[in-house]
Structure 1
Amino acid sequence: MKVEIWSDVMCPFCYIGKRRFEAALQQFPHKDKVEVEWKSFQLNPDMQTDPNISINQYLADVKGWTLDYARQMNNHVTQMAAEVGLTYNMDKAVVANSFKAHRFTHLAKKHGLGEAAEEALFKAYFTDSRNVDDDDTLIELGVSIGLDAETIKTTLETDAFADEVRYDIAEAQQLGIRGVPFFVMDQKYGVSGAQANEVFSQTLDKAFNEWNQQRPAIQVTDGPTCGPDGNC
């Protein structure tokens, strides 16, 4: 059964939601039959990368908040993150457009490293205060998860995987997704936001049971065979 997750690297609830979903999946008795695929989403496609301003100031300017209120909101999500074992350093987060990071993720996905890329990007942005729109940063992250440095460099210097990112975003719009994280299980059930573990567990159970029932049973006609023990 497939679980598709739309997220953006700069979304604080996406990293928290990732941890809560992982906790639910770890306890799921059929986790070996669940395939997880990460999808791209941009909360602010027009964001301009600017390491010289704080994320608090950026949010205050864009949303019309006071600087103090922006700090309060970021302190709130920092506390939520701590509850699932994550360390957020929001005061040091680098304001960065995420489109290039999403292209990087699609490169990693092509090599079976999509999950590792998501984790590396989230940690880089929220914990390590790295610029995820910077080529050298992405190359370093890619090498750390097993990608080839030259392949990453070549990818980032072109528009490779840009169409894949746009396709994910368009697909989200078709599904009516307006915010992330958004989890779609077996293309039937959606979970919006960093829900409690129990919500993920219940939805996993429901989606898997229906998926499992719909799989056609194999009709077997017996005949002469050889077994792994060598008996024929």
Structure 2
Amino acid sequence: MKKLKIDIVSDVMCPWCIIGYKNLETALKQLSDEFTAEISWKPFELNPDMPIEGQDLSEHLAQKYGLSEEQGEENRKRILEMGEQAGFAFNFDGKRIMINSFDLHRLLTWAASKGKQTELKLALFKAHFTDLVFLNEQENLLDVVQSVGLDRARAKEILDSGEYFQDVRSEQNALQQMGITSVPTFIINDQFALTGGQPSDAFVQAFKQITEQEAQQQQ
């Protein structure tokens, strides 16, 4: 059984990050007789300068990427379709906002020390994209934390303090020095990278190529 170390550079605000992860999950299930994977999530902020109140998503996309209403609708249709294929439900029916995700990354760093990082990450994706929860409101965020069995009072202490601030900044700086500028980026065994919301077949092919290359390197 071969072991894969997979670091996923991502932001909860990025729909392609959850699409890519669900496709990764499918690939790992297909190859469960050959591979095991140790997964960790690395912090990336799509909008580090976003104020705490956030911004309406359609307005944000128009302002940041110059998307017209028609282009925005096409983008939503594509995400819905890709999400459905990957096994994740996006909801575009209600008011959606874009927020700064730094506090989410602080909580995810803490959750990693409790063995709950992936569980919290997936719960945050669902809250943001499916349930349209405003994660910039502390009580909402604490509800999500509690839902995966993490201590609510401890999470509030972290949010109300500067805990894990430097941990997140250090990881972000290290990733920038590696030249990572987009999400999702899947770093495999510390030396191979896949970017974007890749289909499951791309992961299957990549894992097989990686093990072949590593075997050749060891010869």
Question: Would you call these one fold, judging by a TM-score over 0.5?
Answer: yes
- Choose from 41, 46, 52 the match for 2:44: 41
Aligned to 2:163: 160
Distance 1:154 1:213 in 2: 49
Determine whether 1:79 maps to 2:81. yes
Aligned to 1:135: 138
Distance 1:35 1:179 in 2: 22
Aligned to 1:7: 10
**Offset at residue 44 of structure 1 (A):** 1.6
Aligned to 2:204: 201
Distance 1:13 1:101 in 2: 17
Q: Give the length in aligned residue pairs.
A: 213
Distance 1:10 1:136 in 2: 18
**Offset at residue 190 of structure 1 (A):** 0.5
Per-residue CA deviation, residues 117-156 of structure 1 (Å, 9 max, x unaligned), is 1100100110000112221122111111111111011011
- Choose from 31, 45, 53 the match for 2:35: 31
Identical pairs, percent: 32
Distance 1:78 1:207 in 2: 31
Rg larger for: 1
SS at match of 1:90: coil
Distance 1:113 1:212 in 2: 32
Per-residue CA deviation, residues 196-231 of structure 1 (Å, 9 max, x unaligned), is 21111122223345557889xxxxxxxxxxxxxxxx
Aligned to 1:175: 178
Aligned to 2:65: 63
Cα gap change, 1:126/1:167 in structure 2, threshold over 3 Å: closer, same or farther?
same
Aligned to 2:111: 108
Per-residue CA deviation, residues 169-197 of structure 1 (Å, 9 max, x unaligned), is 21221221111110011111110111121
**Offset at residue 75 of structure 1 (A):** 2.5
Cα gap change, 1:71/1:47 in structure 2, threshold over 3 Å: closer, same or farther?
farther
SS at match of 1:46: coil
Query: What's the TM-score, normalizing by structure 2?
Result: 0.89
Q: Which residues of structure 1 form unaligned runs of 5+?
A: 216-232
**Offset at residue 61 of structure 1 (A):** 2.1
Cα gap change, 1:160/1:212 in structure 2, threshold over 3 Å: closer, same or farther?
farther
Matching residue's letter, 1:69 = Q
**Offset at residue 49 of structure 1 (A):** 3.9
Distance 2:70 2:52 in 1: 22
SS at match of 2:115: coil
Distance 1:191 1:95 in 2: 25
Question: Where does 1:87-126 land on structure 2 (aligned, <5 Å)?
Answer: 87-91=89-93, 92-126=95-129
8 Å CA contact 2:47, 2:99 repeated in 1? no
Aligned to 1:187: 190
Q: Which residues of structure 2 form unaligned runs of 5+?
A: none
8 Å CA contact 1:50, 1:94 repeated in 2? no
